[in-house]
Amino acid sequence: MQIAGISAGRKGKATDTLVRAVLAGTGLKVNLISLSGKLIRPCEACNGCVKTNRCIIKDDFQIVYEKLQQADGFVFGAPTYWNHMNAKGQSFWERACFSGRHNALFPLKGKIAVAVGIDGYQGTGEYVIADLKRYFEDARIAMLGSIAAQGEFACFSCGFGSTCPVGGFAELYPLGTPITPERTPSICNQLPHLDGVPAHARDIRSKAYDLGALLAKKVTKQ
């Protein structure tokens, strides 16, 4: 059995690390792909895929899509940009869903998937998870479950985050607050800007491992 993991977020950040954590929980052979640095153009609705159910746009989409077709199950994660899944994640699923649905072929039908959603505020990932749920339903993919986390805004590393009045950092901390590792969200340091959050809610790795184990169980039908 093989599980594929795809991260539409920045390498080494919350989307990437949470997808990795779910994959680690499966205990199965995994294939992790980052879309960071890859060219994934949006769907042009050109109808070039109608006869073959294969997108004809020449970029990195098809290589990644084939990994999903080969997998028994997969984990897909993306960050939230302006209350939606980021454009790279949306572009991937626009093309996967449009090219696959002609003549009701649905190449990913019956695949089992986990959705990973990241946002910079409360860590609900609600917009990403809602977007992925719609795409999964359209592609006839069975969504096993989801997991969400708070990730760091790009403002944490831009060099101006502590003084920029319109940045994400200023939404969490007073202007001028030093940016430190203790104040930076990660999957083992959730909601650091809030007091009174219990330790088990700060570190969500065990939750991710449990979801990965459940995915492995469903895929192997144990």
Among candidates 147, 190, 152, which has minimal Cα distance to 25?
Answer: 147
| Rounded Cα gap, residues 95 and 128, in angstroms | 17
Q: Each residue of 11-36: pLDDT tens digit?
A: 999 999 999 999 999 999 899 999 99
Is the pLDDT assigned to residue 106 strictly greater than 80?
A: yes
**Count of structural domains within the chain:** 1
Q: Each residue of 150-185: pLDDT tens digit?
A: 999 999 999 999 999 999 999 999 999 999 999 999
Q: Where are the beta strands (DSSP E) in the chain?
A: 2-7, 29-34, 73-81, 84-85, 112-119, 142-150
Query: Could you tell me if residue 112 is inside a domain?
Result: yes
Q: Which amino acid is at 148?
A: A
Q: pTM of this prediction?
A: 0.96
Query: Could you tell me if residue 199 is inside a domain?
Result: no
| Rounded Cα gap, residues 155 and 178, in angstroms | 12
**pLDDT value of position 1:** 65
- Give burial (CB, 10 Å; 0-12/13-18/19+) of 110: exposed
Query: Could you tell me if residue 44 is inside a domain?
Result: yes
Domain of residue 125 covers 2-151+204-220
If you average pLDDT over every residue of the chain, what do you get? 96
Query: Could you tell me if residue 92 is inside a domain?
Result: yes
Mean pLDDT across the stretch 53-69? 96
**CATH number reported for the structural domain that contains residue 37 in this entry:** 3.40.50.360
Query: Could you tell me if residue 168 is inside a domain?
Result: no
CB 75 within 8 A of CB 116: yes
- Alpha-carbon separation of residue 114 from 37, 75, 190 (angstroms): 23, 5, 20
